[in-house]
Chains A and B, each alone.
Chain A
Amino acid sequence: MAEEKKLFKVTIDNISVEVEPGTTILNAARQIGGDIVPPAMCYYSKLQGSGGKCRTCLVKVSKGSEADPRPMPKLVASCRTTVMDGMEVANITSPEVIEARKGVVEILLLNHPLDCPICDQAGECHLQDLSYEHGVSATRYEFKRRTFDKVDLGDKIQLHMTRCILCYRCVFTADQLTEKREHGVLGRGEHAEIGTYIKESLDNDFIGNVIDVCPVGALTDKTFRFKNRVWFLKPVDAHRNCENPKCCGKTTLWMRGEEVFRVTARKDVYGEVEAFICDTCRFDKKEAKDWVVEGPRNISRSSVISQNHYVKTVKPQETIEKVLDGRKPKLLMDIHTVSEVNRPGIDLSQIEGPAHSDDFNKKGVQ
């Protein structure tokens, strides 16, 4: 009979969970899920040694463990701090953490432009989400920002260092997925930048994954760049029998009609890929016939990408009439009497693909 594993009990924002020893606070929080999961810009569970650099995942350890209940003196990086039995952690319940995170966001945005309207990462950028959640509407930084020209790292990947937040994820990816060191961080301090060794290009057959791991729009796919906004595309899960033994061949196709605009690895709710894919799948297989489509990709409803991708929804039960003893609520104004845009008779979840003005012009539809 196998020996029963001792689990550590950790409480994060007053919610307890039992996890295996060696689990980090971040991963324990991910097991609980929801709002208490700290954000992470540099940690990537699939990359060894990543994390600890961006400082967005800082949390407060208010109780070290059952054995040593003293709190930790400073905020700690949840992605690199392992749990202890009886540990108590405050994330969103700690004003200190929220304040520190706001500070980190402000600092990350000192040099990173908020140019989402033209950035190819808009809609799937973690820094964009973070700045909406923790940022302020204006920066206090009044100095010249650092800017760089765009650089082609090979024929398929473009680096725009201006947007880079030096999370090191792409460096870890290149180091761990490819057979030779492709690129790294050059320079020190504020002068640090991502670069290749004496202008060599990134040409390894797995190097395309640096695009997927980039949390911002610093590394982009040249075969997709500016061809579409991600929220106009329909993500579908697809697979093919890839000849590369290291590639799982399971991808997400970003389609509009029958046209495949982009191929990426499948990402989970934390924006991390489930398995890395090869460059052939990513860059060369852009025909629908190359793929076996499995079905629509399940995208979080809160994501901007889910906009216009209607799935059958269960309408919530109206409770107001019950509460008011059957009386209907008194409306101050019915929007439909003054606007023809929003028609309650049209069920958006019944429309295939993005809604179009034609859908609203159909006869008989009110």
Chain B
Amino acid sequence: MGRKLLLDKAHIEGIRYYDVYRKNGGYAAAEKALKSMTTDQVLDEVKKSGLRGRGGAGFPTGLKWSFIAKPEGVPRYLVCNADESEPGTFKDRYLMEFLPHLLIEGLLISSYTLGANSTYIYIRGEYAWIPDILEEAIAEAKKNGWLGKNIQGTGFDLEIYVQRGGGAYICGEETALIESLEGKRGNPRLKPPFPAVKGLWQSPTVVNNVETLAAVVPIINIGGEEYAKIGVGKSTGTKLISACGNINKPGVYEIDMTISVEEFIYSEEYCGGIPNGKRLKACIPGGSSVPILPANLLLTTAKGEKRMMNYESLNDGGFATGTMMGSGGFIVLDEDQCVVRHTLSLARFYHHESCGQCSPCREGTGWMKRVLLNIENGKGKMSDIDLLWDIQRKIEGNTICPLGDAAAWPVAAAIRHFRDEFEWHITHPEEALKRNFGLAHYADPLPVPQPVA
């Protein structure tokens, strides 16, 4: 049984309410940080912990916090990125729904460290019921003196605001999120300037994911060094994994990043194996935007070692033989799954979610989707595979924000590892169509742009 730091109290009945949370050790970290530590000391603990951003990029949190500009007379902001829209990723939802006070406590400590007196939780529009839970928890925290003016007599003021997004995937990108928060169209900004210098309302801003901010609580509770002992290498602490797909026990798991992928999929403690005894075909371990890996590469690294559930091991060998930890959206595919259809599904998603600001993403994602649609519907040509490869290369790295990369990587990885499946679709169009069950929804569902009347 791995060590649990975030979900250790999740099983306690009523833990989402202040009284139960407080009775079970809640707000002890906030009390410690605000009453007995300076902001530099808190920052130092976070740096020592080696905590990496849990939103997907894995950038060291302490380092990110240390970048924040501190000009005189200019407010600083902390924004909690709760716009969890990556297909396959639903761990933040679990945290916010069942442990809202853990997030609020994390926000409180982080805001104190950064010198932010206004903090925003930008939450995905589709999480319709969660803002109410957060609002209720915020009201409870305020009532008990953990928010508002002069928190617990420490002289620190903090207000937390919950802002609902409109349901756009791109608003999970930090600069698009800031634009949306400012009431504008959620288009990513060009960097530099980075949010740490000019973010929300042109003020220094830190944007962190829900899990990252929640992880600050156990770091302060047990100390940065102790936290860094959990895990391995630069993958310190625990990580939430949202597992789904063809597994017996889908759900959100907290792991300490020392277990193997094989153990995670097959052990009873976690996913519980694949239903009906079917074989493992492939897996996307970090949310839909990270490259898919076939079973053989998923269980063994390029060096021939056992693949572990951590940043380094999952990335071993780069994209040729590895993938990414990403946000921890673990999607398992059994032997019956069609990689072409799966890739088409992702391509449709990224095409639909492109903001349209820059040309490669706006036009390229649609092109990829249409070529994939042809292949899936038995109308593909052999040259389409190379064409797809070429299109994704034209998108990757050439766009304003990482959505272009997110759209390109799944296609590239699918061709790299499952080219034979694409070829089979093209050489056996009728069988491919039968396999596709003649699903009408695989016709292009998006309306063709209508001419202006």
Contacts and interface: CB of A to CB of B under 8 A. Distances in A.
Contacts of B168: 188
Nearest to A194: B452
Given A143-B370, A148-B451, A148-B452, A53 B363 contact: no
Nearest to A150: B452
Contacts of B364: 107
Interface string A144-174: 1011110100000000010001100000000
A192 interface: yes
Contact of B449 (A77, A100, A108, A193): A193
Contact of B400 (A53, A161, A192): A53
Nearest to A74: B397
B351 A103 contact: no
A195 B452 contact: yes
B363 A149 contact: no
A292 B413 CA distance: 65
Among A103, A185, A193, the most chain B Cβ lie within 10 Å of the Cβ of A103
A141 B370 CA distance: 10
A349 B87 CA distance: 67
Nearest to A52: B190
Contacts of A55: 358-360, 398-400
B394 interface: yes
Among B351, B362, B446, B453, the most chain A Cβ lie within 10 Å of the Cβ of B362
Interface string A43-77: 00000000111110010000000000000001101
Interface in B21-77: none
B429 interface: no
B17 interface: no
Given A54-B359, A104-B359, A104-B398, A190 B449 contact: yes
A106 B359 CA distance: 10
B383 to A, nearest CB: 9
B358 A188 contact: no
A80 interface: yes
A257 interface: no
Nearest to B188: A52
A53 B358 contact: yes
Secondary structure class of chain B's binding surface, majority of residues: loop
Interface string B160-202: 0000000010000000000000000100001010000000000
Given A107-B360, A140-B387, A189-B362, A52 B355 contact: no
Nearest to B393: A103
A50 B394 CA distance: 23
A53 B397 contact: no
A304 interface: no
Contact of B363 (A74, A107, A193): A107
A177 B264 CA distance: 59
Interface string B342-354: 0000000001111
B452 A165 contact: no
A80 B175 CA distance: 16
B453 A191 contact: no
Range class of the B interface residue count: 20 to 34
Interface in B316-372: 351-360, 362-367, 370
A111 interface: yes
Given A54-B359, A190-B351, A190-B362, A141 B452 contact: no
Nearest to B397: A74
Among B387, B394, B449, the most chain A Cβ lie within 10 Å of the Cβ of B449
A192 B387 contact: no
Interface in A124-146: 140-141, 143-144, 146
Given A53-B400, A146-B449, A104 B356 contact: no
A141 B390 CA distance: 12
Interface in A76-122: 77, 80, 82, 100, 103-104, 106-108, 110-111
A110 B367 contact: yes
Range class of the A interface residue count: 35 or more
B394 A53 contact: no
Nearest to B168: A188
Among A108, A141, A190, the most chain B Cβ lie within 10 Å of the Cβ of A190
A74 B370 CA distance: 27
B1 interface: no
A120 B351 CA distance: 32
Nearest to A168: B357
Contact of A191 (B192, B365, B449, B452): B449
Given A104-B360, A108-B363, A110-B367, A52 B400 contact: yes
Contacts of B448: 144, 146
A151 B400 contact: no
Contacts of A195: 452
Contacts of B360: 55, 103-104, 107
Contacts of A77: 190, 400
Contacts of A146: 448-449
A166 to B, nearest CB: 7
Contacts of A144: 448
Interface in A290-321: none
Contact of B356 (A54, A103, A151, A189): A189
A248 to B, nearest CB: 31
A245 interface: no
Contacts of A165: 359
Contacts of B363: 107-108, 110-111, 190
A149 B359 contact: no
A75 B398 contact: yes
Contacts of B353: 189
A104 B400 CA distance: 13
A149 B356 contact: no
A149 B452 contact: yes
Nearest to B189: A52
B372 to A, nearest CB: 12
Contacts of B453: 149
A189 B352 contact: yes
Contacts of B370: 143
Contacts of A189: 351-356, 362, 365-366
A100 B360 CA distance: 10
A166 B187 CA distance: 14
Given A54-B359, A149-B452, A161-B452, 6 more contacts: A75-B397, A144-B448, A189-B352, A190-B351, A190-B366, A195-B452
19 contacts: A75-B398, A107-B359, A107-B363, A141-B367, A144-B448, A149-B452, A151-B452, A165-B359, A166-B356, A166-B362, A185-B185, A188-B356, A189-B351, A189-B353, A189-B354, A190-B351, A190-B362, A192-B356, A193-B452
Interface of A: 51-55, 58, 74-75, 77, 80, 82, 100, 103-104, 106-108, 110-111, 140-141, 143-144, 146-149, 151, 161, 165-166, 185, 187-193, 195
**Which A-B residue pairs are the 3 nearest by beta carbons?**
A103-B394, A192-B356, A189-B354
